[in-house]
Chain A
Amino acid sequence: MMQMLRALETPALRLETSTIKGVTEMSDHHKDHLALTKYIRGKRKVKLPKGHMSHAGHGATKSIRRQEYKGKSIRVETSYKFYIDDKPVNLHASVMNDGKVHCHTLPQYAFTSALQMLRRVVDVMDIPMPPNELGKNRKKSGKPDKPHHHGG
Chain B
Amino acid sequence: MTAIRRNIMTDQTTRDQYVEGVRLLDEEFPGVTAQDVFNFLQTSFPQIRMRGREQPLSTYDIFVLWHIIAMSVPLDVGNAAHSGPIFLPWHRMYLIQLEIHLQRVLNDADFGLPYWDWAADGELPSADQYTTPLWNATGIGESRGQVTQGPVGDIRVRLFSPGQGQIISDTPRPIQRQASNASARRLPRKSEVQDALDATAYDEPEWDNNTEQLRNILEGWHDGPALHNRVHVWVGGDMGPGSSPNDPVFYLNHCNVDRIWEAWMMNNSRDYRPQVGEGPQGHRINDVMVSIIGDSMRPIDVLDPAQWYSYDDLNVAS
Contact with A along B159-176 (1 / 0, CB 8 A): 010111100111100000
The verdict on A104 contacting B79 (CB below 8 Å), with A109-B229, A145-B55 known, is yes
**Is the C-beta of B303 less than 8 angstroms from some C-beta in chain A?**
no
Taking CB atoms, residues of chain B closer than 8 Å to A33 are 97, 100, 293-295
Residue-by-residue, is A102-139 near B (CB-CB < 8 Å gives 1, otherwise 0)? Answer: 11111111100000000011001101011111110010
Q: Which of the candidate stretches B34-42, B112-120, B132-140, B262-270 sits at the interface with the other chain?
A: B34-42
Q: Is B201 an interface residue (CB 8 A)?
A: no
A60 within 8 A of B: no
Instruction: Bits for A90-108, please: 1 = Cβ < 8 Å to B, else 0.
Output: 1110101110101111111
Whether A76 sits at the interface, judged by CB under 8 Å, is no
State whether B293 touches A36 (Cβ < 8 A).
yes
Contacts of A46 in B (CB 8 A): 44-45, 290-292, 296
Quick check: B100 and A51 within 8 Å, CB to CB?
no
Name A's interface SS.
Answer: loop
**Contact: B74 with A48, CB < 8 Å?**
no
Residue from A32, A41, A105 within 8 A of B36 (CB atoms): A41
Chain A residue numbers with a CB within 8 Å of B106 are: 22
Write the chain B residue with the least CB distance to A104. Answer: B164
- Residues from chain B with Cβ under 8 Å of A98 in the complex: 210, 223
Residue contact A2 to B33, C-beta cutoff 8 Å: no
Given A47-B290, A107-B242, A96 and B209 contact (CB-CB distance below 8 Å):
yes
Q: How far is the CA of A142 from the CA of B46 in the complex (A)?
A: 23
**CB closest chain-B residue, reference A140:** B33
A56 lies within 8 A of B74 (CB): yes
Interface residues of A in 51-93 (CB under 8 A from B): 51-56, 65-66, 89-92
Q: At the interface, yes or no: B185 with Cβ under 8 Å from chain A?
A: no
For B32, B46, B289, the residue with the greatest tally of chain A CB atoms inside 10 Å of its CB is B32
Minimum distance in angstroms from A87 CB to a CB of chain B: 12
- Is the C-beta of B192 less than 8 angstroms from some C-beta in chain A? no
1/0 per residue, CB under 8 A from A, across B80-108: the answer is 10110010000000000100110110111
In the bound complex, do residue B282 and residue A11 qualify as a contact, i.e. CB atoms below 8 Å apart? no
Produce 1/0 per residue, A7-24, CB < 8 A to B: 000111001000011110
Q: Which of A30, A51, A89, A127 contacts B75 (CB 8 A)?
A: A51
Whether B104 pairs with A49 at a CB distance below 8 angstroms is no
Contact with A along B15-59 (1 / 0, CB 8 A): 000000000000111111111111010011111001111111001
- Answer whether residue A4 sits at the interface, using C-beta atoms and an 8 A cutoff: no
CA distance A36 to B40 in the complex (A): 13
B55 close to A49 (CB less than 8 A): no
Closest to B288 in A: A47
Is B241 touching A124 in the complex (CB atoms < 8 A)?
A: yes
Say how far A1's CB is from chain B's closest CB, in angstroms: 11
**Interface assignment of B228: CB less than 8 Å from any CB of chain A:** yes
Indicate with 1 or 0, residue by residue over A33-52, a CB within 8 angstroms of chain B CB atoms.
11111011110011111111
> Any chain A CB within 8 A of the CB of B248?
no
How far is it, in angstroms, between the C-alpha of A90 and the C-alpha of B163 when the chains are bound? 9
Cα separation A34 to B40 with both chains bound (whole Å): 19
- Would you give the shortest CB distance from B65 to chain A, in whole angstroms? 8
Q: When the two chains form the complex, which single residue of B28, B29, B290 contacts A48, counting CB atoms closer than 8 Å?
A: B290
B210 near A97 with CB under 8 A, answer: yes
A-B contact pairs, 26 of them (CB 8 A): A11-B29, A12-B31, A21-B107, A33-B293, A37-B62, A39-B293, A41-B32, A46-B292, A49-B80, A52-B75, A52-B282, A54-B47, A56-B47, A97-B210, A98-B210, A104-B164, A107-B242, A109-B233, A130-B53, A130-B171, A133-B54, A134-B34, A134-B51, A140-B35, A141-B56, A142-B33
Residues of B within 8 A of A (CB): 27-38, 40, 43-47, 50-56, 59, 62, 71, 73-76, 79-80, 82-83, 86, 97, 100-101, 103-104, 106-109, 160, 162-165, 168-171, 183, 206, 209-210, 220-221, 223-225, 228-230, 232-233, 240-242, 244, 280-282, 287-296
Inter-chain pairs besides A94-B209, A142-B31, 8 sampled, C-beta below 8 Å = A32-B295, A39-B40, A46-B291, A48-B80, A104-B242, A138-B54, A143-B56, A149-B29
